[in-house]
């Protein structure tokens, strides 16, 4: 498994190109925008993109999804159906955050907790992690113990819960009951900012460190 972080949009959202180094098949996670830059990375690495994966319905994560899916002729998969209300609202989100006008869309497939998404020979496990948004999902690659967690968890912080249908208690449950059991050694790539490990966050994250729940 290999991946490349591609920061996109004025929000410096971590779009990711993930690929199987045996088959050269790839997926793009959260193409928020800057589609030309994403396609340049695809060409640079010479990989064959099979699908676009979405963690949740916020525009900085999905703003380039339809354009990218059309240009590469691949399906959009995810998030969980509980985020469809955000995808239905993309025209408003694009105005509000001054993004390129963005049409609403329905993904080819919604994702549920326990689903497995393949990328070549790789299998990514899907964890439904509501809280930041109700339909947020996380992708976990168990062999390398790598997780793409969107806006659930950050190095030293957690996702905002001041949006419509956000829930702080649900977010805390998602982190402590869905993510921590995957293992302290898991390295995660958040939707914004630097990577970290679950063990590091359990030690020092001011919102979800173990000592807060003792
Ligand atoms: Zn978000
Ligand atoms: Zn975000």
- At residue 114, the pLDDT reads 98
Distance 149 CA to ligand 1 centre (A): 11
Percentage helix, strand, coil, to 5, in the chain? 30, 30, 45
* Cα 7 to ligand 1 centre (Å): 15
Pairwise CA distance, residues 77 & 158, whole Å: 24
- Residue 98 has what pLDDT? 87
How much is the average pLDDT of 115-127?
98
Is residue 37 very low, low, confident or very high in pLDDT (cuts 50, 70, 90)?
very high
CA distance 130 to 128: 6
Q: Are strands 13-19 and 25-29 parallel, antiparallel or unpaired?
A: antiparallel
The secondary element (H helix, E strand) that includes residue 91 is helix 90-96
CA of 13 to the centre of ligand 2 (A): 6
The per-residue b/e assignment along 60-73, b for 16 or more CB within 10 angstroms, e otherwise, is bbbbbbbbbbeebe
Give the pairing type, strands 137-141 and 146-150: antiparallel
Q: What is the DSSP letter of 121?
A: T
CA distance 199 to 155: 11
- Which bound ligand lies closest to the C-alpha atom of 10? 2
Phi then psi dihedrals of residue 191, to 5 deg? -70, -20
Count the helices and strands in the chain (H runs, E runs): 7, 13
pLDDT at 40 over 80: yes
To the question of pTM greater than 0.85 for the whole model, the response is yes
State the distance from the centre of ligand 2 to the C-alpha of 150, rounded, in angstroms. Answer: 7
pLDDT category at 135 given cuts 50, 70, 90 is very high
Give how far the C-alpha of residue 186 lies from the chain's centroid of Cα atoms, to the nearest Å. 16
- The residues with which 25 forms a beta bridge, in sequence order, are 48
pLDDT at residue 81 tops 90: yes
> What pLDDT is stored for residue 102 in this prediction?
87
182 Cα: distance to centroid of ligand 2 (angstroms): 23
The answer on pLDDT for 51 being more than 90 is: yes
Q: Measure 99 CA to ligand 1 centroid, in angstroms.
A: 15
Distance 191 CA to ligand 1 centre (A): 8
Q: Which domains does the chain have, with CATH numbers?
A: 2-213 (3.60.15.10)
Closest CA to 55 of 111, 9, 93: 111
Q: How far, in Å, from the CA of 11 to the mean position of ligand 2? A: 7
Q: In the 8-state DSSP scheme, what is residue 192?
A: B
Q: Tell me: pLDDT of 202 over 90.
A: yes
Ligand 2 mean position, distance from CA 23 (Å): 30
Ligand 2 centre distance from Cα of residue 20 (Å): 25
The reported pLDDT for the residue numbered 73 is 98
The rounded distance, in Å, linking the Cα atoms of 119 and 138 is 15
> Can the peptide bond before residue 143 be classed as cis, meaning omega within 30 degrees of 0?
no
Task: Choose the weakest-confidence range: 14-23, 87-96, 141-150, 190-199.
Answer: 87-96
pLDDT in tens, 151-200: 999 999 999 999 989 999 999 999 999 999 999 999 999 999 999 999 99
Ligand nearest to the CA of 154: 2
């Amino acid at each position: 498994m290999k991946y490349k972080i591609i920061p996109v949009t004025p929000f410096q959202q971590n779009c990711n190109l993930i690929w199987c180094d045996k088959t050269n098949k790839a997926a793009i996670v959260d193409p928020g925008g800057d589609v030309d830059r994403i396609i340049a990375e695809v060409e640079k690495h010479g990989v064959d993109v099979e699908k676009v994966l979405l963690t949740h319905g916020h525009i900085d994560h999905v703003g380039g999804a339809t354009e990218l899916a059309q240009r590469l002729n691949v399906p959009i998969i995810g998030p969980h159906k509980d985020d469809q209300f955000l995808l239905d609202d993309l025209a408003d989100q694009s105005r509000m955050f001054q993004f390129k006008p963005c049409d609403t869309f329905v993904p080819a497939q919604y994702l549920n907790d326990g689903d497995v998404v393949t990328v070549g020979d790789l299998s990514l496990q899907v964890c439904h992690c509501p809280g930041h948004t109700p339909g947020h999902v996380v992708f976990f690659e168990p062999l390398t113990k790598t997780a793409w967690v969107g806006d659930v968890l950050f190095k030293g912080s957690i996702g905002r819960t001041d949006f419509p249908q956000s829930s702080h208690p649900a977010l805390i449950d998602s982190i402590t009951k869905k993510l921590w059991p995957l293992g302290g050694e898991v390295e995660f790539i958040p939707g914004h900012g630097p990577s970290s490990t679950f063990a590091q966050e359990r030690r020092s994250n001011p919102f979800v460190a173990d000592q807060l729940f003792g």
